[in-house]
A and B are shown apart, each in its own frame.
Chain A
Amino acid sequence: EDKVVQSPLSLVVHEGDTVTLNCSYEVTNFRSLLWYKQEKKAPTFLFMLTSSGIEKKSGRLSSILDKKELFSILNITATQTGDSAVYLCAAFGSARQLTFGSGTQLTVLP
């Protein structure tokens, strides 16, 4: 059975801190890994990673995939209160559907 595990489950930081969110996966015929941000309702897309070792970047957010060790990290630098959200990691495999992790609840305090 496909499995995605995220850590930590929750994290509280202060504005300006840098955070690293972790995602490990066990997925048959892994093809891609996606990160989503869920603030209230709709998960919004952040990154899709398919190749190992290539960093994707968008502003203060970046993510990288390690296909050998079966994990991905999401980094957020200079955090802001608007970064407070649940960050979901999901992996796509041979079942041709996304398997989601439980998410990391990030709270950024002013």
Chain B
Amino acid sequence: DTEVTQTPKHLVMGMTNKKSLKCEQHMGHRAMYWYKQKAKKPPELMFVYSYEKLSINESVPSRFSPECPNSSLLNLHLHALQPEDSALYLCASSPSRQAFNEKLFFGSGTQLSVL
């Protein structure tokens, strides 16, 4: 069982809607990640938070807005999305971003459909 919890599991939204994806971990990890995965493609990194500060933004459009309220929580705020943004959004965490020998723990994802 994954120790990274994502809600909701499924989300359907219109292009004018505002919604948020939530991610929570209680493993004491200090690095948290958002990935986007299209069907039959590998996960693509979107954002990385390290010690609650944004450390990587992989040129993601501003209609995606991440937030890290505390070390256990990670949100992704969505606004004015396009149909091509439909994908599986995966959250992950790791103990830190400092060591190469740390594995990422993934949540089960939010399957997003934009109509």
Q: Decide if A50 touches B90 in the complex (CB within 8 Å).
A: no
Q: Interface majority SS on A: helix, strand, loop or mixed?
A: strand
B contact residues, total (Cβ < 8 Å): 23
- The answer for the CA separation of A41 and B43 in the assembled complex, in Å, is 11
Question: Could you say which residues of chain A place their CB within 8 Å of the CB of B61?
Answer: none
User: Is B2 a contact of A97 with CB atoms below 8 Å?
Assistant: no
Q: A1-44 vs B: 1/0 string, CB under 8 Å?
A: 00000000000000000000000000000011010100011111
Neighbour of A42 across the interface among B48, B101, B106, CB < 8 A: B106
Interface residues on chain A, number (Cβ under 8 Å):
22
> Does B45 belong to the interface (CB within 8 Å)?
yes
B40: chain A residues at CB < 8 Å are 102-103, 105
Output the least CB separation between A6 and chain B (Å).
9
CB neighbors of B among A81-96 (8 A): 88, 92, 96
Is A96 touching B97 in the complex (CB atoms < 8 A)?
yes
Are the C-beta atoms of A103 and B42 separated by less than 8 Å?
yes
Query: Does residue A48 face the partner (Cβ distance < 8 Å to B)?
Result: yes
- Say yes or no for B108: interface residue by CB 8 A criterion: yes
Which residue from B44, B100, B107 sits with its C-beta under 8 Å from A31?
Answer: B100
Interchain CA distance A97-B46 in the complex, whole Å = 11
Q: Which residues of B contact A98 (CB under 8 A)?
A: 45, 104
Given A48-B103, A92-B100, A96-B97: A43 and B43 interface contact (C-beta under 8 Å): yes
Please tell me if the beta carbons of B101 and A88 are within 8 angstroms of each other in the complex.
Answer: no
Judge whether A97 and B106 touch: CB under 8 Å.
no
Whether A42 contacts B108 by the Cβ 8 Å rule is yes
Looking at the assembled complex, report how far the CB atom of A97 sits from the nearest CB atom of chain B, in whole angstroms: 6
Q: A41-B108, A97-B56 are in contact. Are A32 and B101 (CB under 8 A)?
A: yes
Contact residues, B21-69 vs A (CB, 8 A): 40-45, 48, 56
A48 to B95 Cα, complex, angstroms:
15
Using a CB–CB distance below 8 Å, which chain B residues touch chain A? 2, 4, 40-45, 48, 56, 88, 90, 97, 100-101, 103-109, 111
